[in-house]
Amino acid sequence: MKMRTTTLAIVLLLTGALAASASSPFATLGAGVMVDPLSVRSAALGGVDILTADSVYLSTMNPAGWNSSGRTRFLMASNVRISSSQDVLSGKDGASDLQFPTVALAMPIYRTLGIGFAYKTVTDYSFLIRRTSTVTDLLPEDTLASYHLTETFSGVGGLSAFSSNFGVRLGNSLAMGVALDYVFGKLDRIWQMTFDTGGFTESGKTIRNQLSGIAVRFGAQYSGTPLMAAATVQLPASISVHRSLEIVGGDSLGISAGSLEMPLSLSVGAAWTSGRKRTYGQGSFAAWGSTAQDVIGVSDTYLNAWLANAGFELLPSRSPLEPWYQKWTYRAGGHFGKEYVSAGSDPVKTFGLALGVGIPVRTHMGMLDLALTMDWRGDTAANGVGVRERVTGIRLGFSSTESWFVRRGK
């Protein structure tokens, strides 16, 4: 049983590792597109996450849920993204890729104290914008000639975090936790200009940014009946940036410069259970301010970001006499909010809907989760951002409890 779980985990890890980063025109802004490092259950609930930790599931946002549940909990999630974007200037384009946003492992340490580790994607920094044009009468002199050239602007990388979580349960319903996130990654911006006409050499510039730093989060979770509530606070953190510049045919300069100032972020949420029905609500706010930061070699305007999430869950019947479909969990949710960066002076708004199902896997005392998500970002209004992206996500996740590490003490 353990071997099969491990094998499955390795297969998922490998498939995720082989996949390309998710491409988005909005990745050109700031440190990239924020990725929900969510369990598939949370994704199906419209992004509600800080309330979702229990004896099977883990919350990647709320460390309070990492308290001891008696057994080892294991979580992983994959996401096939199929995206298309409509640009008011240049038409449509599409891409698809496979993400592997998170894998997590939590284990009991002593009594109600639990510890766990997670690897999660924080931002995706992957984009490629290509433009072709024709220029006349450049070189050589006295010759009126046309030259076809292609400009590309691309980004490679993204931020990830290795998270150490500590949680403890105080009494039967209240849990507290703290998480240390080691945030790291690269954000490379690459410009290239190539000529289809002979006689010209490719030119280009690359700004390479290596980022690393520590962020701290606190969390609390109240798991009562019928009310559940949770809150998290992420303290401001400074992520250092080491930058280098390469000009094709020119200089290659190492520049130690700057930092990404992660802001104070708050999330609060509540859920109400009535019979087999549970309704969730969650709100988040990140105080980026309204300032321009030169984090990665260009100046971007960072804005206060907020996100509102709502979800609904039809819990499974506990009766052994019910048919199989009554033992599944059905979920739906949605979210809307505003991103942390702007396109020019225009804020980037986001909106999403989700559906999902949780299938019990009794052999692992776990759940196999599926979710279908639809997210929209930006707009094509004449006085707006100019680009609207739609992302369809087909998510597969697995949460299990294992006997690898079990609780000691009462």
Partner 1 sequence: MRTKGSAKSGGRVVLVRVSLLLIAVSLAAALAAGCGQYNSEVGSSVVGQQLEGVLRDTVLQIQQSRTRIVGDEMKSTTSLLYAGEQNGMQADILMRFPDQKTYVDSILSYDSAVVVLHTYGLVDSANVTDWTPWQANVLRIDEPYDSSEIDYDYPFVSEMIGVAGIGTPAPDDSIEFPIDTVTLHRWEVDSLRNGILLRVDEGTATFLKRFYTFTVKSDSLVPLLKFRASVIDGGELHPDSLIEMRPTYTTYLANDVTLPVSDNRLYLTNGYQRQMLFKADFSSLSPRTASINSAQLFLKVDTASVYAFGDPGLFTAYQVTTEWDEYPDSLGLLYWPSVAQVIGEGAAQVTMDITDLARELEKHPTENKGLAIRQTNAGNTMGRAVFYDITVPDTTLRPYVRVLYTDYSE
In angstroms, give the least distance from the CB of 133 to partner 1: 10
DSSP secondary-structure letter at 126?
A: B
Which stretches does DSSP call E strand in 196-276?
203-223, 227-234, 237-247, 252-262, 265-274
C-beta of 2 vs 408, nearer to partner 1: 2
C-beta of 181 vs 188, nearer to partner 1: 188
For 404, residues 6+ apart whose C-beta sits below 8 A from its C-beta are 2, 72, 107
Residue 251, classified by CB atoms within 10 Å of its CB into exposed (0-12), middle (13-18) or buried (19+), is exposed
Residue 48 has a CB neighbour count (10 Å cut-off) of 33
C-beta of 163 vs 206, nearer to partner 1: 206
For 141, residues 6+ apart whose C-beta sits below 8 A from its C-beta are none
C-beta of 395 vs 407, nearer to partner 1: 395
In angstroms, give the least distance from the CB of 146 to partner 1: 13
C-beta of 62 vs 342, nearer to partner 1: 342
Q: What is the spatial distance between Cα 187 and Cα 249, in angstroms, rounded to a whole number? A: 22
Residue appearing with tokens 């691309």: 154
Q: What is the spatial distance between Cα 390 and Cα 378, in angstroms, rounded to a whole number? A: 9
For 306, residues 6+ apart whose C-beta sits below 8 A from its C-beta are 283, 284, 285, 286, 337, 338
In angstroms, give the least distance from the CB of 92 to partner 1: 7
In angstroms, give the least distance from the CB of 383 to partner 1: 12
CA atoms within 13 A on the CB side of 257: 15
In angstroms, give the least distance from the CB of 216 to partner 1: 32
In angstroms, give the least distance from the CB of 245 to partner 1: 7
C-beta of 94 vs 226, nearer to partner 1: 94
In angstroms, give the least distance from the CB of 322 to partner 1: 17
C-beta of 253 vs 287, nearer to partner 1: 253
Backbone angles phi, psi at 218, to 5 degrees: -120, 150
Among 155, 171, 2, CA closest to 72: 2
